[in-house]
Chain A
Amino acid sequence: GAVVSQHPSRVICKSGTSVKIECRSLDFQATTMFWYRQFPKQSLMLMATSNEGSKATYEQGVEKDKFLINHASLTLSTLTVTSAHPEDSSFYICSAGRGLAGGPGTDTQYFGPGTRLTVL
């Protein structure tokens, strides 16, 4: 199956610093990538949709200036948490949408392994 990687898998940082998380599709080109946030024992919440070569589309309530998304190539999207604070501590997961292969509805989103961010 398709492989999506995320780096780093874990990061601990001090309050006020910025953290960059990378999401890569390793064996396919992803025109669209999604960034989710997950709190302990809760569901995934979509933060933003990242389209290659254009601005990301943010969900309501997500601060664009705080969570900067860049999708510079068909295989890489980055999420930068700027001026991180303890309340930003969470599990961040990206997913990559694969193009049509085999007909409508047969493709799906493949998820990265996630990045656990802890802000002290």
Chain B
Amino acid sequence: AQKITQTQPGMFVQEKEAVTLDCTYDTSDPSYGLFWYKQPSSGEMIFLIYQGSYDQQNATEGRYSLNFQKARKSANLVISASQLGDSAMYFCAMREDDRGSTLGRLYFGRGTQLTVWP
């Protein structure tokens, strides 16, 4: 079974609007970490935000926030006030055993291509 599922191959949003990128995950490990990365056309992977499975509050980093719903196993990324420069591929990723082995491998979803239009 897929550990990370991103069901939106592409999303479009108008500049200055908010957009939500979906991510669901599958794990039986009680300790895990969830990540979002942005990959522009240049190819580099840019770390955006992290949420630990034991964190009580949703993570926020500037215009990025992670809507963490543990019971639903979802970790949606919300980008507020979209900018043209936000156009990129966005990947959701998970690392299991987050407290025991913080350097473990990441499992990636297929990604969502976000296009911001003026």
Contact = CB atoms under 8 A, between A and B. Distances in A.
Q: Do chains A and B interact in one complex?
A: yes
Interface of A: 1, 31-32, 34, 42-44, 46, 49, 91, 93, 95, 97, 99-100, 104-114, 116
Interface string B20-60: 00000000000001010100001111110010101100000
Interface of B: 33, 35, 37, 42-47, 50, 52, 54-55, 91, 98-99, 102-103, 105-106, 108-111
Contact of A43 (B42, B98, B102, B111): B111
A104 B37 contact: no
B50 A108 contact: yes
A113 B42 contact: yes
B99 A104 contact: yes
Given A105-B102, A108-B35, A43 B47 contact: no
A91 B89 CA distance: 15
A72 B37 CA distance: 28
Contacts of B33: 105, 108
Contacts of B102: 97, 100, 104-105, 107
Contacts of A111: 37, 44-47
B103 A97 contact: yes
